[in-house]
Amino acid sequence: MASALNRAARVWGGRGRRGAEWRPGPVVDRFRTEHGASMKQTRLLRLLKLLTLIQGGSRWTPTKLAEACGVKERTIFRDLSDLRATGIPIRFDNSSKEYRVDPDFFLPPVQLTRDEALALSVLCEHVAGSEQIAFTGPAWRAMQKVRAAMPPEVREEVEKLGGALSVRVGASSPPDGYADVFERLQEAVGNRRALVCRYESLSGSGEGEAFDFEPYALFFSVRAWYAVGFHAGRGEVRTLKLSRFTQAKPTERPYEIPKDFSLDVHIGNAWRMIPGEPEYEVEIEFEPSFAETVGDTLWHKTQTVEEHEDGRVTFRCTVAGLDEIVWWVLSMGPHCRVVKPEALASRVRELSEQTAARYRASGSRAGL
């Protein structure tokens, strides 16, 4: 953004050195030639001039800005108000009696290699652009700005290669119905202000009682967005699915995120996102037809895979709780066998028998 502003200043007008008089650039000169000297006071040029002067420093007061632009102070105030309305954070510093632009607003230029630009473009186009992950749309809009600032040769190459690359993530929850919850939780984390929430029960029986919630972090995992924070009603840190919030009302009550809080530590050795107790040493044997599927994928950060001469593989990991991994084992069907722990083998056996019984019952009703 800063480089774009500098280029604009060179074309439309700018100052040769700090504190020097603003000088018109070639575009202004051309306008003057084609449309007459009055064009120097067109609103567009004046707004750009104001922004260029303030961004450059040199203690620009309302009086000095009015003199530099050849207008009255009330016109300057109106122009500054309009610039703020576009999102440019111009403020008046009472201590130094000058206007300033937030230094973090104009980002320094980023020089990307072709590979960096291509990877960023593919992720933003295919993941954020199509919202395969909800609420990532702003990343796609940001990428359009980055792309506009790329050198033409890099941009052309990215556009040419980008069509041959694609990213497809697994099915996930659409953003419909809880975008406001996502925004309020984000604001709560940023402002450190608690929320009064209601949450749909897992059984679908309706809303539970209202509770205070102090969010520590938001994260996307597998198919949905989650919030981790202190649940006052439960008296502990909980992981809650955003799409199940039925109310998230801001309050003015401040809270602090514990200094030692870490999302990675909180998740620990959970199979996916919700840790349980106790931790288990898991060992699962897979038949040869599934050896490649299991061995070529990083399923868990603690996993090891042992290959056997007959083509079988043994998968081992350490997990906190069995509630999540049991469904993964079931998804492998008859192609694996839980060696240990017995608690996991028992749950897989029980759920498999329930599933088989349901199909036997439905088959009987169909006359099979």
- What is the CATH number for 48? 1.10.10.10
pLDDT at 3 over 50: no
Mean predicted confidence (pLDDT) in 225-240: 95
Highest-confidence range of 38-47, 62-71, 124-133, 239-248, by mean pLDDT? 239-248
pLDDT bin (cut points 50, 70, 90) of residue 172 is confident
Instruction: Mean pLDDT check: name the lowest of 21-25, 149-153, 265-269, 349-353.
Output: 21-25
User: CA dihedral in degrees (27, 30, 31, 33; nearest 10)?
Assistant: 160
| pLDDT recorded at residue 365 | 61
Work out the mean pLDDT of the chain and round it to a whole number.
83
Residue 32 has pLDDT above 50, yes or no: no
Strands (E), the chain: 13-14, 23-24, 90-93, 98-101, 193-199, 211-221, 224-231, 236-241, 245-254, 279-286, 304-307, 313-320, 336-340
Domain assignment present for residue 315? The answer is yes
Preceding omega of 258 cis (within 30 degrees of 0): no
- 70 lies in some domain: yes
- The CA–CA distances, whole Å, from 150 to 104, 159, 349 equal 21, 11, 57
Least trusted range by pLDDT, from 98-107, 239-248, 327-336: 98-107
Model pLDDT, residue 135:
85
Looking at residue 278, its pLDDT comes to: 95
The predicted pLDDT at position 203 comes to 62
The secondary structure element, H or E, covering residue 342 is helix 342-365
Region 64-78: what's the mean pLDDT?
Answer: 88
Residue % of the chain over a pLDDT of 90: 45
Band the pLDDT of 148: cuts 50, 70, 90. Answer: confident
Confidence (pLDDT) at 207: 65
Same domain? For 238 and 152 the reply is no
pLDDT at 70 (0 to 100): 85
pLDDT for 33: 43
Q: Identify whether 256 is part of a domain.
A: yes
Domain that residue 353 falls in: 279-358
Task: Tell which wins on pLDDT, 68 or 203.
Answer: 68
93 with 125, same domain? no
Question: Is 229 part of a structural domain of the chain?
Answer: yes
Single-letter amino acid, residue 190? G
CATH of the domain at 202: 2.30.30
Domain count, the chain: 4
| Interatomic CA distance for residues 49 and 53, integer angstroms | 6
Least confident of 68-77, 99-108, 258-267, 270-279: 99-108
Q: What is the CATH number of the domain that holds 316?
A: 3.30.70
Quick check: is 216 in a domain? Answer: yes
Q: Are residues 146 and 189 in the same domain?
A: no
267 located within any domain:
no
312-337 pLDDT tens trace? 999 999 999 999 999 999 999 999 99
Check whether 136 has a pLDDT greater than 80: yes
- Token pair 């973090």: residue: 104
Chain segment 265-307, per-residue pLDDT in tens: 999 999 999 899 999 999 999 999 999 999 999 999 999 999 9
Most confident of 119-123, 197-201, 251-255: 251-255
Asked if 291 and 213 sit in the same domain, the reply is no
The pLDDT, as a whole number, for residue 106 is 66
